Amino acid sequence: MLFIETDSPPPFYQEQLTPMQREQLDKWFIGHRSQRYYLKRFEQFDKQGYLSPKWHWASFFMTFPWLLYRKRYMDAIVYSVAGWSFIQMNVALVLVAFEFVVMSHIPDDFQMGIRIGIAALIWLFWSFMVSRWTDAYYYRMARREIADAINDYPRDASEQQAHLQREGGVSLFGLGLGFCFFAFALLVIQVQFLPIVAKPKENAVLFDTYYIAKNAQNRVALIYQQTGKCPVNLPLSAADQQVRMHIDTKAAGVTKTDCAVIATIQNVPFPVRYLNDQTLVFYHLPNSDSWACTSSLNKKQAPKSCLSE
């Protein structure tokens, strides 16, 4: 699509056709969907005598479904294999260069956002370039199919019409297939690749939560041992921290206790937002000097010391 001839006259142009004949053949190829738009574009290319970039919104946002919708099945396969591979190669090269040259000077909190931003900019540039030449590409396809129809059926208009309607027009099945492919790709990202990014962040949040809660429990345990009372009014954390701490004489999921240190995870961003509102509880066992631990986290996330036997 990006390597379209810009010579004059345009490729496959049939000079022997009258304007009325050419328009009728174009209508058969385009179909009823967006016919006025494409007829206008085709007329512009015919008059200027060469191909030039024009903006195409559908191609910018969804090139692959658009190709399937317009029955360009083989081109859709080539685009998905060669085009996306080209994008991925450029993203990889730029990210590797950025990692070695710049990334060490950027704070950790901004590094993932910058990586995503670089990939998005490369993808947008590619989409921009493709969308500029989509109308020229579709014009070229129309002229090629019209040339084939005239060569194969030079005196049979009905066969020409059947050929152009078969090779042109639109396919709702192709459009649905394109969106199903995107849905499948998003599912793969969510199930396979997102956990790879989320797991280290999850481990870091859980480690910090346990470390903060354990230190708070040691402090509370010392005060409890000295005073014999649970210091429920003892300030432990600020509201804007990722771990909110408070002390109470009871806790959810704990049947018997007279003092509990409750750590609640909060303000955790994507991709580990599912940890928000999860709790880690250190609670005192009555009539003893022992403390136990429980958690709302699942067995894979909770610290081993907080798993019930």
pTM higher than 0.75: no
Average pLDDT rounded to a whole number, residues 58-64: 91
Split at pLDDT 50, 70, 90, the class of 3 is very low
Complete domains list, the chain, with CATH? 19-170 (no CATH), 219-306 (3.30.700.10)
- At residue 161, does pLDDT exceed 80? yes
- Whole-number pLDDT of residue 278: 94
Residue spans of alpha helices (H) in 14-156: 19-30, 35-48, 57-69, 73-78, 84-101, 108-152
Average pLDDT rounded to a whole number, residues 81-92: 85
Average pLDDT rounded to a whole number, residues 65-92: 89
Residues of the chain with pLDDT > 70: what percent? Answer: 95
- At residue 265, does pLDDT exceed 50? yes
Residue reference for tokens 């995870």: 265
Residue reference for tokens 């030449």: 133
Split at pLDDT 50, 70, 90, the class of 75 is very high
Average pLDDT rounded to a whole number, residues 67-76: 94
For 105-137, write each residue's pLDDT tens digit: 888 778 878 888 898 999 899 999 999 999 999
- Whole-number pLDDT of residue 33: 92
For 183-194, write each residue's pLDDT tens digit: 888 888 778 778
For 223-255, write each residue's pLDDT tens digit: 999 999 999 998 886 566 889 999 999 998 888
DSSP lists the bridge partners of residue 74 as none
Residues of the chain with pLDDT > 90: what percent? Answer: 57
- Whole-number pLDDT of residue 294: 93
Average pLDDT rounded to a whole number, residues 82-111: 84
Q: Among candidates 259, 255, 302, 256, which has minimal Cα distance to 278?
A: 302
Q: Strand, coil or helix: what is 183?
A: helix
Q: What burial letters (b/e) apply to 275-307, b meaning 16+ CB within 10 Å?
A: beebbbbbbbeeeeeebbbbbbbeeebbbeebe
- At residue 165, does pLDDT exceed 80? yes
- At residue 2, does pLDDT exceed 60? no
Taking residue 240's Cβ as centre, other Cβ atoms within 10 Å add up to: 8
DSSP lists the bridge partners of residue 303 as none
- At residue 4, does pLDDT exceed 80? no
For 12-38, write each residue's pLDDT tens digit: 888 899 999 999 999 999 999 999 999
Q: What are phi and psi of 253, to 5 degrees?
A: 85, -5
- Average pLDDT of the chain to the nearest whole number: 89
- Whole-number pLDDT of residue 72: 94
